[in-house]
Amino acid sequence: MSAHRAITRETRSGGGALPATPVGTPLRRLGLGPLLAATARHHPDRIAVVDPADKPAWSDRPAITWTYAAAAEIVERLARGLRGWRLPPGSRIGLCLPGSAESVLAILAVEAAGHVAVLLPVSWDEERLLAAAQGVGLSAVLTQARLGEAAPAERLCAVAARYFGLRYLAAFGPDVPDGVINLDRFVLDGPAGPAPDRPPAPAGFVSFAGGDPDRPIFRSAEALVAAAAAHLVVARVAPGERILSLIAPHDLRGLATGLAAAIVAGATLEVLPVFDGAAFATALRRPGPTHLVAPAFLEDNLAGRDLPPNLRSATFVHRAPTRLPARNRAPGGVQALRLDAVIDTVVFDETALLSGRRGGPGDVAAILGRPDRLSLPAGLLEIRHDAGGRITFRGQASTVTALQRGSLRTANPMDWRETPYAANLFAGLATGLDVAALRAEADALETTFFAPA
C-alpha cells in the first residue's frame, strides 16, 4: 500500500466516495524523512530526484540523478553536520535555494536534524530577506553560490552583516564567498553512517503568505504530509512514476504538489527552477509515466499542443484570488488537453490547497459551490462556507498557525480556519474566488459550464 493511501485510509474502488471518518479520529503522524528512509530501504535503486539537464549553465554545478538510497545517505550526512552546529532543537534554518536537488536534500536534512525549515524564495532581495530573518529569528541559512547572474550567497552575507542573530551561513557550489561554509565539502567530508536510533521529531516548516516576509506561517511536518496526501487522492501518482514540476518548493503549493507528493507516493521528482522552453519540452518527453505540475497561466500555452502519451495528468495551480477556467467541452478550446487528465489545484495563501479533476463530481468548481461534495476523510480536510460566505477549512491538511513575533501558538486540527476568500457562484458552480469584501457577480454570458456528473 502506498503511503498516501495509508494516510488517507482510502478503501474505495472504482472511483467511489471515501468512507466517512469521525472528526476526532487522529491521522497517522509522519514526516518526510521517515517516508524517504522507508522507500530507500525497500526500493533503494528507485529514482528520487532528477536535476534538470541545463543546471550547469545557471549554477556551475553538475546535473545529478539521485536514487532514494543515495538521497537518504546525503540527507543524513547533511543532518549530522547540522546537528554539529549545536543549535537548540527546533531552531529556524532558512533555505534560500532553487528547486534543484540541493533544495530537496536541504529541506529533508533540516527536518532530520530536528530544526524548522524556513522557505526563503531565491528571488527575494536583501531587504525582504532581512525582514524575514528578523521576523522569524533565523539562526542559520543554507543557500547557493550562483543562480544565473545572481549570487544568493553574497546577498545573504550582506543580510548577516545587518542581522547578528544569523550564526551560520552555508552554501552549495563553487566559488563560495569567504566566511561561508562550503556545503559541498560539508557533504563529502562529513560524517557518514546510519541515522540515529532515536532521530529528533520533525519540527515543521515556515513559509510566507502571499510572498510577504512579514506574514510567516508555520505548518507541522504532519500537516504537510496530510496536504500532499489529500492532493494525491486526486493526482493518483503511483510509486516509481515521475512528477515534473515547474513550481519550486518555496511555499505550500510547491511543497504539497511536488516534493512532499513525490516522497509520500514513493515517486520521482524533477523540478525545472529556471524555465526554458526547449529544456521543458525535452524533460516532458522523457520516457515513463509523468505527472506535470505547472502554474495555471501556462495552460493556454499547452492547450492544443502535441503532448506525449505518457502524460498521466496535468495539474494547474491557481492562487486565490483567481478566475477558474471555463468548464466547456468544445474541441479545440482552451481545454484541448484530455479533460480527465486535467487537475485544478487552488491554493488559499498558505492555509490549504484544494485539488479536483476537471469535469467530474470532484471538480473544484463543484466543491467550492457545494463543499459537501469533497470526498476526503473529515480528519484530513473539510471545507465549508461561513455565515459571510468565506471559505473555511479544518483538518490535519490545513493545520497552520501564524508566527507572532517569532513565537508559535498551538494549532488544533479541528479548529475552523477562515480564509479571506469567497466563491463567485453561477448555477451552483464556482467561477472564481475573490476577497470576500470585494466579491463580484459572475457574468453568465462569458462562461460555459460543464454538466455536473
Give the pLDDT means over successive 10-residue stretches in the chain (453 positions). Answer: 50 38 49 94 97 88 94 93 91 94 95 95 96 96 92 96 96 91 83 66 92 95 96 97 96 97 97 85 92 93 82 96 75 54 95 94 94 92 93 96 74 90 93 79 40 34
Q: Looking at residue 54, what is its pLDDT?
A: 87
CA angle centred on 341, ends 339 and 283, rounded to 5°: 130
Q: Looking at residue 22, what is its pLDDT?
A: 45
| Close Cβ partners of 103 (under 8 Å, ≥ 6 residues apart) | 95, 97, 248, 249, 271, 273
Q: Looking at residue 306, what is its pLDDT?
A: 78
| Close Cβ partners of 273 (under 8 Å, ≥ 6 residues apart) | 52, 98, 99, 100, 103, 248
Reduce the DSSP state of residue 23 to 3 states and report it: coil
Cell numbers placing 199: 532521530
Q: Looking at residue 335, what is its pLDDT?
A: 42
Are 114 and 161 in contact, with CB atoms under 8 Å apart?
A: no
Per DSSP, what are the bridge partners of residue 356? 344
The structure's pTM equals 0.88
Report how far residue 16's alpha carbon sits from residue 289's, in angstroms, rounded to the nearest whole number: 24
| Close Cβ partners of 288 (under 8 Å, ≥ 6 residues apart) | 241, 242, 268, 310
Report how far residue 283's alpha carbon sits from residue 82's, in angstroms, rounded to the nearest whole number: 33
Q: Looking at residue 190, what is its pLDDT?
A: 65
Q: What is the full DSSP assignment across 134-180?
A: HHHT-SEEEEES-BTTB-HHHHHHHHHHH-TT--EEEEESSSPPTTS
The residue assigned the cell 479545440 is: 332
Domains and CATH numbers, the chain: 1-11+26-31+220-453 (3.40.50.12780), 59-201 (3.40.50.980)
Where do the DSSP E strands lie in 282-416?
290-295, 311-319, 322-323, 342-348, 352-357, 382-385, 390-394, 400-402
The residue assigned the cell 467541452 is: 329
Reduce the DSSP state of residue 116 to 3 states and report it: strand
| Close Cβ partners of 76 (under 8 Å, ≥ 6 residues apart) | 109, 112, 192, 193, 194, 195
Are 431 and 327 in contact, with CB atoms under 8 Å apart?
A: no
Cell numbers placing 163: 542581522
What number of CA atoms fall less than 13 Å from residue 269's CA on the CB side?
31
Q: Looking at residue 430, what is its pLDDT?
A: 95
